[in-house]
Amino acid sequence: MHRIYKDSALLAVPDHVEYMQRASYSYKKAGDQIKAMEMLNKAVAIDTANSSTATLEYKAWSMLYFYRDYENTIKDVDKVIEISKIPYNGCHGESCLLLKAQAYYQLGEYKKAIETFDYLFTLLKEQGVNPKDDFLSNFYLARSYFKLNDLDKSLFYLQEQLSMPYSVKAELNFYAGQIYVLKNDTEKAKQHFLKAKELYLQNDKMNEPYIERFDEIFMNDINLEISKL
């Protein structure tokens, strides 16, 4: 029914970018991805032709989290920054640079992910914002260092976030536990895994009902790590 009304609105105003984006969203939720992307790409073309990036920002976010199209996530973010001339621009509620860095992370280009996070942190400092307050950026910075086998730097950022009041803690403890396993410190590893389990049960974890977060943990993950100790 929602799609019928949105399609009807577009019949009346065929080039209305917001209606087009909303209709695209409805088709995406219904599973008609081809129609969804056709409408979204058309909305982006109209919007960017008018030097607006709002629809492109939403597209970049969708490319990362829904379509797992990491190359196009990076291209879309770069285009947003090129048009807006604002390097710290937001993309659908998250930093565009966070999306770009996560895309590099998923592509296995961990050094580029780290460079992007470092650039984001520089911009945040220039805006008077404490980079430590950006949980997801710090979390994926830690994960990037982990993937490069730089365990000490990874652990540094995980522990730093564990001291922050607004970061979610189950995943931080879980991945810290994995690092201590690799460091052959079984006791500390067990402490972190048990803490991850406790916090998981308290729902102090990545808990996004709308999208599946990368590196989100589940109880089976924790129990498996504990059983291997």
Contact predicate 199/169, CB 8 Å: yes
Residue 204: how many CB atoms within 10 A of its CB? 18
Residue 12 lies in a domain: yes
Residue 15 lies in a domain: yes
DSSP secondary structure letters along 158-212: HHHHHTSTTS--HHHHHHHHHHHHHTT-HHHHHHHHHHHHHHHHTT-S---SSS-
Q: Round the average pLDDT of the chain to a whole number and report it.
A: 91
- Tell me the per-residue pLDDT of 122-177, one tens digit each, with 9 for 90 and over: 999 999 999 999 999 999 999 999 999 999 999 999 999 999 998 999 999 999 99
The parent domain of residue 25 ranges over: 1-52
Residue 31 lies in a domain: yes
pLDDT confidence of 1, banded at 50, 70, 90?
Answer: low
Residue 40 lies in a domain: yes
Residue 18 lies in a domain: yes
Residue 157 lies in a domain: no
Q: What is the DSSP letter of 91?
A: E
**Could you tell me which of 217, 221, 210 has the C-alpha nearest to residue 65?**
210
Rounded to an integer, the average pLDDT of 82-109 is 95
Q: Within a 13 Å sphere around the CA of 171, how many CA atoms are in the beta-carbon half? A: 20
Q: CB under 8 Å to 147, separation ≥6 — which residues?
A: 105, 108, 110
Model pTM?
Answer: 0.91
Residue 151 lies in a domain: no
Sign of CA dihedral 10, 15, 17, 18: negative
Residue 6 lies in a domain: yes
Residue 229: predicted pLDDT: 95
- Residue 200 corresponds to which amino acid? Y
Q: Could you tell me how far CA 143 lies from the centroid of its own chain? A: 13
- Look at the chain and report how many structural domains it folds into: 1
Rounded to an integer, the average pLDDT of 64-70 is 93
The C-alpha atoms of residue 204 and residue 220 are separated, in whole angstroms, by 16
Task: Of 28-42, 90-104, 107-121, give the lowest mean pLDDT range.
Answer: 28-42
Q: Which contiguous run of DSSP H or E holds residue 130?
A: none
Residue 12: predicted pLDDT: 59
